[in-house]
Amino acid sequence: MNSIMDNFFTSKESIKFQKNKFREYYTTSKTELPDRFGRREFGFVFFGGRGMMRHLSFNRKINLKNFLTERAPAHAYYSTAYYQTPDAQTMQEKNWMGAELIFDLDSDHLPNADKVSYERQLELVKEEFYKLVNDFLLGDFGFDEKHIELYFSGGRGYHCHVKDPKIFGLDSSERREIVDYITGRDLKDSILFREHVTSTIKIRGRTVPSEKALIMPKPTEPGWRGRISRGVIDIIDEIKRSEDPIEKLKEYGVKKNAAEKLLVDLSEERLKRIKEGKLDQSKTIRKFFLNSALRKTAVLMSAGETDEPVTCDVKRLIRLPSSLHAKTGLKVVGITLDELKDFDPLRDAVVFSDDSVKVDLNQNVHLKIKEEKFDLKQGENEVPTYLAIFLIGKRLANIS
């Protein structure tokens, strides 16, 4: 598929169609603004253009509305930071006043995301996002829900804005510490598990340990200790319930030979002891359970070790609420944590009409959008406008 898309060029007619539809949307829709928008820098990417126009500011809502209507940008952004002079041409001249704490979870952070459908990617990243907000931000960090704003990004993920005044002044390294905690970076088993002597022997009149066990924290303990313990218990239950334990272990990244050895080591008696909180001294078992529980309970926030998460950037631009994403035609939608569970971007972020449009597909497409399943063959197809915009944005079709 990638080779087809790499050689695909969006036609001028398709770009014009997209831009006109975006202009219609911005003309008729309500423009949503972030708080203190006069202190924010704005940036835009335009259809057919290269690079971003930035260092802009708007002191009145109508001015931004007029800009969106007249220019119909492909992408609209604003700064997560507040500035004294947001339209200054250099970052130093802007005079930084503070910044929200931003979390940007994207499906390309997920392992093997390219092997599953777009719909499945959206489901998986939503699970990670809920974990981030509910377990870590509201749970471990204790932020008040009134200081948290959640958005579907319009593309492949979700944004969380923490607007607690206590965090506005944090620098990049302090924000990195928050990321390290949430991702479980450098978490060691010596921090989580304590050694317990289970039997002793006497040597030359001295009592010395002959056997030890690692005692797991209680699942009810706060923070990472309880989280890892709950993760270990969940993994044990999954392995025991699985009809094919080898495949289940392979899902956790264990190679077949190692999985077979691990299953031999994981006797019923040993599993029972582990579930009771007595983690085995076997290094293989310790490493497997710690790494697997960490993967299960931590949040995937970047594509790799060297990828600097958005959270650490105190001068980041992020998508404007209610703006459109040119690669999908979907809207940046604000949602509550309660709404997140049932939120479906391919239903709830669709803004364009059902009016029919003829498109020329460069490959077969199977997609459920706006509660309707589409099984389209390569070549000319007649589709609703919202799907045409999506397909053009994804470089899967041109206007025919």
Nearest to residue 140, comparing CAs of 216, 226, 233, 217?
A: 226
Query: How far is the first Cα of the chain from the last one, in angstroms, to the nearest whole number?
Result: 21
Active-site residue, from 164, 307, 344, 354: 307
Is 106 tagged catalytic? yes
- The two structure tokens encoding residue 268: 């019923």
CB atoms within 10 A of CB 72: 22
Active-site residue, from 35, 106, 114, 313: 106
Active-site residue, from 104, 114, 280, 342: 104
- The two structure tokens encoding residue 12: 């001028």
Spatial separation of the C-alpha atoms in residues 285 and 193, rounded to whole Å: 13
Where do we find the tokens 């006797």?
A: 267
Spatial separation of the C-alpha atoms in residues 132 and 365, rounded to whole Å: 32
Is 307 tagged catalytic? yes
Q: Which residues are catalytic?
A: 104, 106, 307
